[in-house]
Structure 1
Amino acid sequence: MDREDETKKYIRENWFKDHKAVLTKHGDLEVLDWRKPGTCCYAVRYVFDGDKMYITGDIGEALFWLTWKANVHSFNGISTGYFMEKMRAFSDDRYDFEKNEAKSRLIEWKNEILESNYPLDDDYDEEDNWYPERDEFIEKIDELICEVDNCNTESMWAGIVNSEPYNSFISEYDCDYWEWIYSIGNETSARIYGYIVGLQMASEQLKESEVEQ
């Protein structure tokens, strides 16, 4: 089970365990209230207005512009990536900064550079110090990896990357670093997963209610 599936499972079993779906119509608008009765904890309100959807509540606010007429059942099976493409505004960061993921990617880059720039054979002896630049590279990349612990958001990490001496060091080894390094710790915000899970659980509930009636 990958992180997305694990997060969605956690949301189902913890955030929305006792939530109930209430769907009402107000002219051309449909309003879905998704909450646990008697509390606003993890409560979400979805407003469907033609090809637009507005979300408010305890897990943030968002605006979606869609290419279809929105309703509670029209998001079943949607991928997270496509859902995020339709999101035009969000009150929080779209991505959480996952430190372990960022460190893993930097360690991978470190090994790639060592292998391509400073290859060692079986006769290598550390005392010979064939590559003094190698030790300098290792020292600098390890410092950069340690900086990850000081970051909690994508913007904080971008600040580290853009600062000196790190920016000059990174660009020296990869002039196209901007294509990948800023996003190395990005993991989709749990709140966005929450929006999808809420819609899908509400759809399931409402369909079950229709069958029972």
Structure 2
Amino acid sequence: MYDVIENTIRNEWFKGHEATVNEVDGMTVINFNKPKDSTYAITYIFKDNMVFISGDVGSAVYRLTWKAQLGTFSDLNIGYFTEKLECSSREKFEYTQKCIDDAVREIREQFLEGENAELEKDREALNNLLHELRHLEDVNEFFVNKAAWEAAGTNIGERQFDSDDAQDYVNQSRQYSYSICSYLIGLKMIEEQVLSNRMAV
């Protein structure tokens, strides 16, 4: 799913963006936008180990465990980078029906395998559970958590859909939001532009 998000951000949101880098009072200020167009414009400010982000895709603050500078982001994955997030004006996660359906499918395979699949009452209990998980009032964090944790304690054969299963379901039902992904993807695109230009000089 991240590949789909990255493709959208690179080829739609940030297509045609150009990076301008300036050093100001010990800070690195990077503007990343289309010339004369503020759509999906984003500004990064590096100060010591801090990264400050603002623009059309929201605002965020990251506290890194290394000095913030170009050339240090290309190998990062979204999970590791997001661990450094201190605050953001946008939601960290999005809950989509596809993610929920995938999570439900995995639960079904996990609990309806082997001998448990022969237990009719347990199959009925699981199907009721899956119905609750799939038919949410809204695809957002509150209702995903509500459905999962209300289901905790449901007996399926010799197993129980417990709190760990509920948390697994919550984790599987979400993806990093497009805005959160765009912060790292933007940095990688800037590195690709700026560092390749420096090497060409």
Normalization by structure 1: what TM-score? Answer: 0.81
The within-5 A match list for 1:161-200 is 161-163=148-150, 166-167=151-152, 169=154, 173-175=160-162, 176-200=164-188
> Which string of whole-angstrom CA distances, capped at 9 and with x for unpartnered residues, describes residues 43-90 of structure 1?
110000001010111111111111111123321211212111111112
2:145 is the alignment partner of 1:158: yes
Q: Does 1:8 align with 2:10?
A: no
- Give RMSD over aligned pairs: 2.4
Given that 2:102 and 2:173 are in contact with CA atoms closer than 8 Å, whether structure 1 keeps it comes out as no
Q: Which runs of 4+ in 1 moved over 6 A?
A: none
CA distance in 2, matches of 1:53, 1:104: 34
Q: Against the structure 1 CA distance between its residues 177 and 152, is the aligned structure 2 distance closer, same or farther, given a 3 Å change threshold?
A: same
Partner of 2:51: 53
* Structure number having the greater strand percentage: 2
Rounded Cα–Cα distance in structure 2 between residues aligned with 1:84 and 1:208: 26
Aligned to 2:82: 84
CA contact (8 A) 2:122 2:155 kept: no
The whole-number CA distance in structure 1 between the counterparts of 2:145 and 2:66 is: 36
Deviation per residue, 1:14-50 (Å, 9 max, x gap): 1111111011111111100001122211111000000
Equivalent AA in structure 1 for residue 132 of structure 2 = L
Indicate the percent of aligned positions where both proteins have the same amino acid: 23
Give CA deviations for 1:77-107 in whole Å, capped at 9, x if unaligned.
1121211111111212211113222222223
Structure with bigger gyration radius: 1
SS of 1:71's equivalent in the other structure is coil
Q: Which moved more, 1:7-16 or 1:50-59?
A: 7-16
SS at match of 1:70: coil
8 Å contact kept, 1:97–1:153? yes
The alpha carbon displacement at 1:138 in A equals 4.6
TM-score (norm 2): 0.85
Q: Which amino acid aligns with 2:25?
A: G
Query: 1:133 aligns to what?
Result: 121
In structure 2, runs of 5+ residues without a counterpart are none
Write out per-residue CA displacement over residues 109-163 of structure 1, whole angstroms, 9 at most, x where no aligned residue: 224323356443xxxxxxxxxx552453154134224324x33222331133345
Task: Indicate conservation of the 8 Å contact 1:170/1:177, yes or no.
Answer: no
DSSP-derived class of the 2:35 partner: coil
Gap change, CA 1:170 and 1:182, over 3 Å in 2: farther
Contact 1:110 1:141 in 2 (8 A): no
User: Is contact 2:34–2:41 with CA below 8 Å preserved after alignment?
Assistant: yes
Q: Which runs of 5+ in 1 are unaligned?
A: 121-130
User: Offset of 1:212 from its aligned partner?
Assistant: 4.9
Label 1:42 to 1:116 Cα distance change in 2 as closer, same or farther (>3 A).
same
